[in-house]
Amino acid sequence: MNTVTEQSHPALLGSLSPTVPFEEVINFSPGPTSLPKAVEDVIAASFQQPKLTSLALSHRSPEFLDILNHAVQSIREVMEIPDDYEVLFTLGGGHGQFAAVPLNLCHDATDVGTYVVNGTWSRRGRDEAQKYCNAQTIDGSDPETGAFIGFPELTAENIDPESKFVYICSNETVNGIELHRLPKLPEARKHIPLVIDASSDFSTKPIDWHGSNVGVLFVCASKNIGHPGVTATIVRKDLLGEAKASPLCPGVLNYTITRDAGNLWNTPATFNIEVVGFVMDWIAEQGGVEEIERRSIAKASVLYNVIDGSGGFYGTPVSDTSLRSRMNVPFNVAGGDEDLTNRFLIESWDKGMIGLRTLTPFGVGDYLRASLYNGITVEQAGKLAAFMQDFAGRNAQAA
């Protein structure tokens, strides 16, 4: 292939518009990404009805209040959220919550928040929090390489007893590290609430809300439960109260203000909230979180089996299988060989498999990533696995 032509190929520029028929496209993007086809059909049908859609409804109209109440209730039911938690819809995505968490849980800038940093997003959360609290770090990086390949042990010794919270990211999308169940803090620190960035794995496994002492859990919609523009933030009621938040906390980030206003202190993302309700209905129809987890395990397993069985042609950074992400499977081709990687991206793109390498604030990274959110079926993951096997068979000698 001509080098100039190859380097300008749309697949290498992050294009998500392959030339195959649309029904053959499989979107492995890390987010935003595709919703389940059945949910997209429901959305399309809603726009065919002879009435105002959620894009045009006043957020204070009874029609939208029904949509809002349904979204809140459906999240509660699907995720089995106890009554002592509030379900809030917030703006600003994960980055907004990076600031909102310390501003709501730390009244003074000297208050301690403990951050478990074992990947890109927990590190960004910690870095933002340093502006608003005494953010202490439990370092999860490899001491020799600095790479994030695991999750550190949580002990009474490495958690300040005065911490207002312990913060974790339950799935690090960039690094391919996932906690398949939330940790429980040691007995001497079990009074400290856990804060979870569950943006990329929410709805794919059960949550032990009380057993893990969850205080706050937030989830950006654009991975598994909807479109970008809204974040579901679930807060335990005893952590609310104006006296507990920093006096500098803006109203738009303030959990108590949002709760007291019934999620209507400012104009919410009306359409996006409706879509969250549609997705929750779909999950319930599929058999609930238990079935979604079964599918997630099946999708990830078929790819990891190819990687592990490739004789080194494919590699993945996380060797601990108990921590390998089911949501985001990172892999390289022939140890990162540029020519073979480009060939892999071009051939897969030509077959309609897109989003395996996207342009991010962190560059293209050392690994490709197959993101396996709710919009990806088991069959589609199998198609990628079959292509990977075929590509390895044809190119192993060139590696």
Whole-number Å distance between alpha carbons of 206 and 289? 6
CB neighbour burial string for 141-174, b if at least 16 within 10 angstroms, e if fewer: beeeeeebbbbeebeeebbeeebbbbbbbbbbbb
What are the structure tokens assigned to 238, written together?
Answer: 């005893």
SS3 state of residue 232 = strand
Closest CA to 22 of 8, 34, 13, 5: 34
DSSP β-ladder status, 26-27 and 85-90: unpaired
Instruction: Classify residue 351 by burial, with Cβ atoms within 10 Å: 0-12, 13-18, 19+.
Output: middle
Whole-number Å distance between alpha carbons of 126 and 254? 19
Closest CA to 216 of 231, 191, 235, 202: 235
Say how many CA atoms lie within 13 Å of 7 toward its Cβ: 4
Whole-number Å distance between alpha carbons of 6 and 4? 5
DSSP state of 106: -
Task: Dump the DSSP string for 371-391.
Answer: E--TTS-HHHHHHHHHHHHHH
Closest CA to 165 of 129, 201, 199, 140: 129
Catalytic residue positions, numbered: 121, 197, 223
Whole-number Å distance between alpha carbons of 313 and 391? 10
Side chain identity at residue 85, one-letter code: Y
Whole-number Å distance between alpha carbons of 24 and 27? 10
